[in-house]
Amino acid sequence: MVKKVEIYKEILVSEEELDKRLDELAEEITESYKNSEKELLVVGILRGAVIFMTNLVTRMDLDLTMDFMAVSSYGGSSVSSGVVRILKDLEEGIKDKDVLIVEDIIDTGLTLDYLIRNLKDRGANSIKIATLLDKPNRRKVNVDVDFVGFKIPDEFVVGYGLDYNQKYRNLPFIAALKEEVYS
Residue-wise DSSP of the chain: ---GGGSEEEEEE-HHHHHHHHHHHHHHHHHHHTT--SPEEEEEEETTTHHHHHHHHTT--S--EEEEEEEEESS-SSS--S-EEEEE--SS--TT-EEEEEEEEESSSHHHHHHHHHHHTTT-SEEEEEEEEE-GGG-SS----SEEEEE--S--EEBTTB-BTTB-TT-SSEEEEPHHHH-
**Binding to Mg ion by residue 104, rule CB under 5 A?**
yes
**Nearest distance, CB of residue 87 and ligand 5GP, angstroms:** 12
Q: Are 134 and 162 in contact (CB under 8 A)?
A: no
Shorter beta-carbon distance to ligand 5GP: residue 25 or 129: 129
**Binding to ligand 5GP by residue 107, rule CB under 6 A?**
yes
**Which 40-59 residues touch Mg ion, going by CB under 5 A?**
45, 48
Residue from 104, 107, 113, 134 carrying the catalytic annotation: 107
**Binding to ligand 5GP by residue 98, rule CB under 6 A?**
no
154 is catalytic: no
Choice from 110, 115, 116, 175 touching ligand 5GP (CB under 6 A): 110
Please tell me the count of residues contacting Mg ion according to CB under 5 A: 4
- Residue 25 contact among ligand 5GP, Mg ion, none, beta carbon within 5 to 8 Å by kind: none
- Residue 55 contact among ligand 5GP, Mg ion, none, beta carbon within 5 to 8 Å by kind: none
Kindly list the residues in this chain that would bind ligand 5GP in the complex (CB under 6 A): 48, 80, 103-111, 156-158, 162-164
By annotation, the residues acting in catalysis are 107
